Structure 1
């Protein structure tokens, strides 16, 4: 008999209803190694069985995740830059992010703050440290709140919706098996988007070079 750990977790969440969804949304911000995409896909699967509706699942998990992100943002603002940077690098190591990756994210945030506050919530792992980076670069709290909520809602909606609709395509598949397939798909899509972004940025840089020289 095979054990599906995600299904067991979802059973626990379902036992607490809306409070369980809120708790798991909050936990994914502070529990290293908790695969948020996998949990969200499983939540979408549970919606098919009537544990909750898809809109309720998206709204409540978004609220929980945002509360966690806002708490991290405010904590970093209060702690000051030196201690917060040390905390960020330690958190990055726990999440498997190298110092170079964190430094690159810092640079990107400073150059395109408003866009990346939103977009960073669609990137696995990076989304967890994004509130801390936003605080360290003194991002406006209003822009941070708005962009983060929209980004989380996009991420949660994508994963929960994928879980919900995938059941109609592959009925009987375990939550864990489906979550692994979704992770592979997300990695492929994000890799292609990153390559497209670099190509566009390179083309813009080359196009702007003659103007700077003239």
Structure 2
């Protein structure tokens, strides 16, 4: 974000949609913090991160529309840290709740990214998908950006603790990613064993 500016925030959020372990709950406050420090405006932070959210979601929507459920489930079963059951669960949830999942699903970690896939599989009208994604993402992004912006505006209060806080944030992010990866690997192994015993 410091190098590219507000478009860098858009790139980071688009990547978060495609690779869920990258947490938007960290990226968005940093965008707000950078805006408060004068790297770009608050409006730019909100607009660009929302563009990134929509672009990332659109990529997954098109993937779902192009490949369909069966092929995506087969591909997911071969991709490290991804499970076919993730596709099955989000597709079933989409089938039960329809368009509401696209809007309100934007507020749920991991699910926020994956819900775009069944929307594409079920060929949800693209204008409706984009509109709901835009609204849901704008609300989610604004909340977290404002948190970071408030911290940035009160930087003089937290500045003495900034070095320590920076390492705490890095440690928390690494722990969360390590936990997610470990849990996913162990679950995949367990399911693989169950499948072998079942056969």
Residue 171, structure 1, aligned to residue 158, structure 2: yes
Query: Is the aligned partner of 1:161 residue 2:149?
Result: no
Deviation string, structure 1 residues 47-66 (Cα, Å, up to 9, x no partner):
11111111110111111221
Instruction: Please say if 1:46 is aligned against 2:34.
Output: yes
Question: What is the CA–CA distance in structure 1 between the aligned matches of 2:167 and 2:139, rounded to whole Å?
Answer: 22
**Which residue is 2:67 aligned to?**
79
- The 3-state SS of whatever aligns with 2:38 is coil
Give TM-score scaled by structure 1 length: 0.67
TM-score of the superposition, structure 2-length normalised?
Answer: 0.71
Structure 2 residue 108 is the aligned partner of structure 1 residue 120: no
2: CA distance, partners of 1:175 / 1:90: 36
Alignment of 1:35 with 2:39, yes or no, is: no
Aligned length: 167
Alpha-carbon separation, structure 2, partners of 1:164 and 1:178: 16
Structure 2 stretches of 5 or more lacking a match?
A: 174-199
In 2: Cα distance, 1:73 partner to 1:17 partner: 27
Alignment of 1:186-205 (within 5 A): none
CA distance in 1, matches of 2:73, 2:95: 15
Structure 1 residue runs of 4+, over 4 Å off?
A: 88-91, 175-181
Give the superposed CA RMSD. Answer: 2.8
Is 1:147 aligned to residue 132 of structure 2? yes
Matched residue of 1:14: which SS? coil
Q: Pick closer, same or farther for the CA change 1:176–1:124 going to 2, 3 Å.
A: farther
Distance 2:43 2:133 in 1: 18
Listed one character per residue, the Cα deviations across residues 133-175 of structure 1 (whole Å, up to 9, x for unaligned) are 2112222212211111111111111111111124439623435
